[in-house]
Amino acid sequence: MKSKKLSEVIIKTFKSNGFVLSEPDVLLDSDYIIERSGEKFRNSMLTFDREDGKTMCLRPDLTVASCISFLQKKTSSKIYYSGQAYRRSGGKGTNFINDQLGIEILGSKNLIKDDFKVISTILNSAKKIKMKKIKIKVSDIGLFKSLINALEMPERWKLRLIRHFWRPDYFEDLLKRLEKNTDIDAVTYDADKKRFYEMKKFDQNKVIAGRSISEILKRFDKKIKDPRSFADGKKIVKIIKAFLKINCKLSKLDDELLNFAKKNKLKINIFKNFKSIQNLKKLNLDVNFVTNFGRDVEYYTGIVFEVFSGTKEIASGGRYDDLLKSLGAKKSTPAVGAAINLKNIWKI
């Protein structure tokens, strides 16, 4: 099946499932994206300066571009897109251009239903274009957050570990520091405290790296009041590392999480909010759950997944309930989406 025909079949499947075409802008304000979406795209964006001095970029991500379009143009909340994302990469032989077909449910009303709708629509698309040996890898960022919040450690450490979970190398460094009970040095702490009082004078609604100044101050206020001594770092790190080793078939997940909670003397209900994952049992497919997966995208907050045909990854997606707020929405707006990597499909 030729590439154009493949795309037409996928788009027809999207339409039949109620998704409406959205055409997000190709050119975006790079400062706006960096300021509101964090550091994820800073080093990968393809940018240029306009005559008026404003720095623009080619859209590095179609989910972010679609969310911006949704907020600015008030497009349909159940959309599909067909287009290209442009991103610089350090890997040899990596293309700047990624051809994608994707779907998003923005303002998701029923989280469990909509998570399943996105995944099942992607799977139906794969079946329509005759993909074989389809299997899925899933995780849930929310389960990691539930674990961290259930552990007895200073609030500042909880904030750090959750915030930097998407940066595996830095996260590992944090675990080493936590294991040795090595906190920030006194000079850094005093400098941050001084900065805290300076920021109190700023506009509290101004957004920096996806967070308003008032939110940043609330976080830092918790750190200032947090006790500085902490002696159970080694024990906590052991629990976190054990959690990140969980890798099992979906059918075994309930028992795995229950046994993990009991072994580590945690409340057995700390993982109660993973119904979207459990709901995937209805797919009757090869579904594998991996806790240490889905960490490469900063804005994911819940379920994350990849769809494979054999060993080739053909689609990925997840839930991102905080992204629309970071991009300018007045409040957190539940959202979930996924994109098919067309180039990988063309190679199969």
Overall pTM surpassing 0.85 (yes/no):
no
CA distance 97 to 88: 9
Over the chain (348 residues), what is each successive 10-residue block's mean pLDDT? Answer: 82 96 92 71 83 90 91 84 83 70 93 96 94 93 94 89 91 90 57 73 74 77 59 90 96 93 91 87 91 87 94 94 88 93 78
Say which residues have a Cβ less than 8 Å from residue 149's Cβ, sequence separation at least 6.
158
Would you state the pLDDT for residue 269?
Answer: 86
Enumerate long-range contacts of 93-100, CB under 8 Å, 24 or more apart.
95/343, 96/46, 98/341, 98/343, 99/341, 99/342, 99/343, 100/62, 100/339, 100/340, 100/341, 100/342
pLDDT at residue 315 in the model: 95
Distance (Å, whole) CA 262 – CA 283 = 29
According to DSSP, the residues that pair with 49 across neighbouring strands are: 55
**Max CA distance (Å), the chain:** 63
Which 3 state secondary structure label does DSSP give 339? strand
Residue 273 carries which DSSP code? -
For the chain, the straight-line distance linking the first and the last C-alpha, in angstroms and rounded, comes to 10
Task: Reduce the DSSP state of residue 294 to 3 states and report it.
Answer: coil
Helix (H, G, I), strand (E, B) or coil at 248: strand
Q: What is the DSSP letter of 38?
A: T
Separation of CA 250 from chain center? 21
Identity of residue 83:
G
Per-residue tokens: 108: 């998701």
Tell me the domain boundaries of the chain: 3-143+248-347, 155-244
- pLDDT at residue 345, rounded to an integer: 82
Instruction: Please report, for residues 171, 193, 318, the alpha-carbon distance to residue 200 in angstroms, rounded to integers and kept in the order given.
Output: 29, 11, 35
The H-assigned helical ranges of the chain are 3-16, 30-37, 62-73, 111-128, 141-150, 155-163, 168-179, 186-199, 213-225, 233-243, 253-263, 275-279, 323-326, 342-347
CA distance 168 to 151: 20
pLDDT at 67: 92
Closest CA to 8 of 125, 132, 131: 125
d(CA 125, CA 131): 9
Q: What's the pLDDT at 180?
A: 80
CA distance 178 to 242: 15
Q: What are phi and psi of 167, to 5 degrees?
A: -115, 85
Q: Locate 161 and state its tokens.
A: 């570990």
Is the separation of the CB atoms in 317 and 137 below 8 Å? no
Assigned CATH topology for domain 3-143+248-347: BirA Bifunctional Protein; domain 2 (3.30.930)
